[in-house]
Homo-oligomer: A and B are copies of this chain.
Amino acid sequence: MSAAGLGGPVALVGVGLMGGSLGLALRERAGVTDVRGIDPGDGALDEALRQGAITRACTDLDDAVRGAAVVVVCTPVGDIPHLVRRVLEVADGDAVVTDVGSAKSGVLVALTPDERERFCGGHPVAGDERSGMVGARADLFVDATWFLTPTAETRPDLLRRVHGMASSVGATPVAVDAQVHDRLMALVSHLPHVIASALVRQAASTAPQGRDALRSAGPSFRDLTRVAGANPRLWADILLSNRDAVLAETARHRNELADVESAISRDDRAWLEAFFAAAAEGRARLVDPGEGPGGEIVRITVEVPNRPGVLSEIATALGHAHINIEDLHLIPGRADEAHGTLSLDVAGADAARRAAALIEDRGFRVTPGP
């Protein structure tokens, strides 16, 4: 999708680190010429205008949203559900509403099926130690995963538009189920933040015979606690917005630790060695996930039934299977036709074969060639 393919202006509801960076990226990398911003923060809009992240500062939500092709809610995650509903009320009928929150199920629960037609949740996995517009930069999303959580109701053309926007700022859009997303983030992001902060607090309150534990820490402790205490308000908000998944993963982690304690207590060297060896294997997979360069772009053409939810289903299945969709095109059938055509570009012949097999497994017909 070309940048012009966004089809019109973009409205940013919130111009902090994420909204501000998105504005800069859309203007500098994607050539979007009309970016409106609204933000209650002191001086945030002025700074966004000054840096060129937005082209118009709005004080009224309706004013910002009306006429926009894409509205991106970039506020703290706790505010997202009610803001998305408000935006959907005033946005154009052909506009898509998305967000950048770190938890994705909550907003979906707040929306009616009708509202979900024009909403596609998003979460760019990117950040900076500085928050607010001062930390914003146009390259924040380059090579970042940008999760999308379309539902069966999400309109395919609007999913395509959000997918294109994420690509246009250098990110890799990956569609996943919202609950899958929330569980993954609970485990690989929210739990680590909790652990890092808990560990620093524990060390900060420990000074046997006056010797300060924090001042006895080496480089590995520093690495492990780098994210400790990052933005207390933001993180309280994230934990509460992803409550069930965070509670589940935190409890699992406590159980893992209790297992280690049992092994130490019963002097079980073999168990402990196997524990560290399993971690070494996982770590190796983390550092080198075994993905080569994607290879040449291969186009897959799929005959799809003329009903909503099919693109969401296919995109999500590919996202779960770690197959990235580089670009996608929709040629809907006429109203009196039962089928339309979907074409998906993926990188490399192997990914294309796996994608085709997954799509056929779901009962759709893959046709050869572009």
Contacts and interface: CB of A to CB of B under 8 A. Distances in A.
Interface of A: 125, 145, 176-177, 179-180, 183-185, 187-189, 191-204, 206, 208-218, 220-233, 235-237, 239-240, 243, 246-247, 249-254, 256-258, 260-261, 264-265, 267, 269, 272-287, 289, 319-322
B221 A203 contact: no
30 contacts: A125-B218, A145-B218, A180-B211, A184-B211, A185-B216, A187-B202, A187-B213, A188-B203, A189-B220, A194-B257, A197-B276, A202-B253, A210-B321, A212-B322, A220-B227, A222-B287, A224-B226, A228-B282, A229-B276, A229-B277, A229-B278, A236-B269, A239-B260, A240-B269, A240-B272, A243-B267, A246-B264, A247-B264, A250-B257, A253-B257
A279 B240 contact: no
Contacts of A243: 264-265, 267
A215 B125 CA distance: 13
B276 A236 contact: yes
B204 A199 contact: no
A211 to B, nearest CB: 4
A45 to B, nearest CB: 26
A296 to B, nearest CB: 22
Interface-central residue, A249, A260, A286, A289, by most chain B CB under 10 Å: A286
Contact of A204 (B176, B196, B285): B285
A193 B283 CA distance: 13
Nearest to A322: B215
A320 B207 CA distance: 9
Nearest to A215: B289
Q: Which 3 A-B pairs have the closest CB atoms?
A: A229-B280, A197-B279, A204-B282
Given A183-B208, A239-B264, A214 B281 contact: no
Contacts of A179: 208
B281 A229 contact: yes
A279 B205 CA distance: 11
Contact of A282 (B203, B286, B289, B319): B203
A211 B281 contact: no
Nearest to A321: B210
Nearest to A211: B320
Interface-central residue, A193, A256, A287, by most chain B CB under 10 Å: A256
A273 B247 CA distance: 17
A243 B281 CA distance: 25
A194 B239 CA distance: 23
Contact of A180 (B193, B197, B208, B214): B208
Given A222-B286, A235-B276, 10 more contacts: A184-B216, A189-B217, A189-B218, A201-B282, A210-B320, A211-B321, A225-B283, A228-B280, A228-B283, A232-B277
A179 B209 CA distance: 10
B231 A276 contact: yes
A260 to B, nearest CB: 5
B189 A221 contact: yes
A253 B198 contact: yes
